[in-house]
């Protein structure tokens, strides 16, 4: 009997997935109220246990891994999805071994914008050489982007644009970036020219993220917007200034550098 118990203890899961479950309550305390902690934990555990290479990278330094998940929990984003990527990157501090780096994705930024409650829709699109594109600031409310969906190759990426339609029907600031401006953002990303960088493996997604991140500077991305609306309603009803302190906005630093440190990310190997 003693041998059986000892064997069971030895086989008990003590890996990264088990640690996520162990710290479930801590993560839950960080999450926005609308997030289901159990579902979030299941998603995080599934993402790490479903990829052997991610599992090994997480096990290299579980402290770093759990810290990256804290960012996902605080932002209320789903780990292991296009909202919040769990990626591998080489670490000099760990002898060149891989660790986990969390990256807020394009869908994560868009989710934060929607969640604030100020917008009814968010449009982020890339423009290619064969497309037609017209937008004159001060004259046009929104860009007019023509795409021949059935005409074959649309050509190289030449630009990206992003804007939001607010709940009152107004259009937010329209962000338009040409190739040179996107390349400037790429240049700020450490190791962007590495063969493992998403700038090389998922280029269009990085263009979209660049546009979405610039848009996030001009539209609400947090509960601050909803709190300010409540404050205004209270003031209107009471005829006096409310004293409720606003919630802090989502810091753009949470969304990574100009583009996050993807340079050391290691792509899946066949």
Question: pLDDT by residue (tens digit) across 183-196?
Answer: 999 888 765 665 55
What's the pLDDT score for residue 77?
A: 94
Q: Alpha-carbon dihedral of residues 55, 96, 254, 24, nearest 10 degrees?
A: 30
Q: Is 18 helix (H, G, I), strand (E, B) or coil?
A: helix
Q: How many whole angstroms separate alpha carbon 222 and alpha carbon 219?
A: 9
Sheet holding 175-178, edge to edge: 119-128, 157-166, 175-178
What's the pLDDT score for residue 261?
A: 33
What's the pLDDT score for residue 180?
A: 97
Q: Within a 10 A sphere around the Cβ of 253, how many other Cβ atoms? A: 7
What's the pLDDT score for residue 234?
A: 61
Q: How many whole angstroms separate alpha carbon 59 and alpha carbon 95?
A: 14
Instruction: Tell me which residue of 58, 46, 63, 43 sits closest to 100, measured CA to CA.
Output: 58
Beta-carbon-side half-sphere exposure of residue 101 (alpha carbons within 13 Å): 20
Q: Where are the domains of the chain?
A: 2-104, 117-227+252-266
Question: pLDDT by residue (tens digit) across 40-72?
Answer: 999 999 999 999 999 999 999 999 999 999 999
Handedness of CA 66, 67, 72, 75 (dihedral sign): positive
Task: Look at the block and give the residue holding tokens 């991305």.
Answer: 221
What's the pLDDT score for residue 190?
A: 62
Structure tokens at 39: 């579902």
Q: What is the mean pLDDT of each run of 10 residues along the chain (270 residues)?
A: 46 79 94 92 94 93 95 93 86 90 88 91 97 96 96 94 96 97 87 63 88 92 60 58 42 49 35
Q: How many whole angstroms separate alpha carbon 214 and alpha carbon 218?
A: 8
């Amino acid at each position: 009997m003693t041998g059986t118990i000892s064997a069971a203890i030895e086989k008990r899961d003590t890996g990264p997935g088990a640690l996520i479950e162990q710290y479930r309550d801590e993560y839950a305390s960080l999450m926005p109220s609308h997030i289901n902690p159990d579902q979030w934990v299941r998603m995080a555990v599934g993402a790490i246990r479903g990829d052997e290479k991610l599992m090994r990278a997480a096990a290299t330094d579980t402290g770093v891994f759990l810290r990256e998940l804290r960012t996902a929990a605080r932002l209320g984003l789903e780990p292991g999805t296009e909202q919040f990527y769990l990626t591998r990157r080489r670490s000099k501090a760990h002898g060149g071994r891989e660790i986990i780096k969390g990256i807020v994705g394009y869908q994560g930024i868009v989710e934060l914008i929607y969640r604030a409650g100020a917008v009814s829709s968010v449009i982020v699109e890339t423009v290619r050489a064969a497309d037609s594109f017209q937008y004159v600031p001060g004259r046009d409310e929104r860009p007019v982007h023509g795409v021949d969906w059935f005409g074959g190759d649309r050509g190289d990426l030449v630009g990206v644009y992003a804007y939001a339609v607010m709940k009152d029907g107004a259009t937010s600031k329209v962000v338009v970036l040409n190739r040179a401006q996107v390349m400037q953002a790429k240049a700020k990303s450490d190791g962007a020219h590495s063969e493992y960088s998403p700038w090389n493996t998922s280029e269009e997604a990085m263009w979209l993220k660049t546009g979405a991140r610039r848009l996030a500077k001009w539209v609400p991305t947090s509960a601050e917007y909803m709190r300010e609306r409540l404050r205004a309603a209270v003031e209107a009803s009471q005829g006096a200034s409310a004293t409720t302190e606003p919630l802090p906005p989502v810091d753009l630093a949470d969304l990574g550098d100009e583009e996050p440190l993807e340079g050391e990310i290691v792509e899946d190997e066949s």
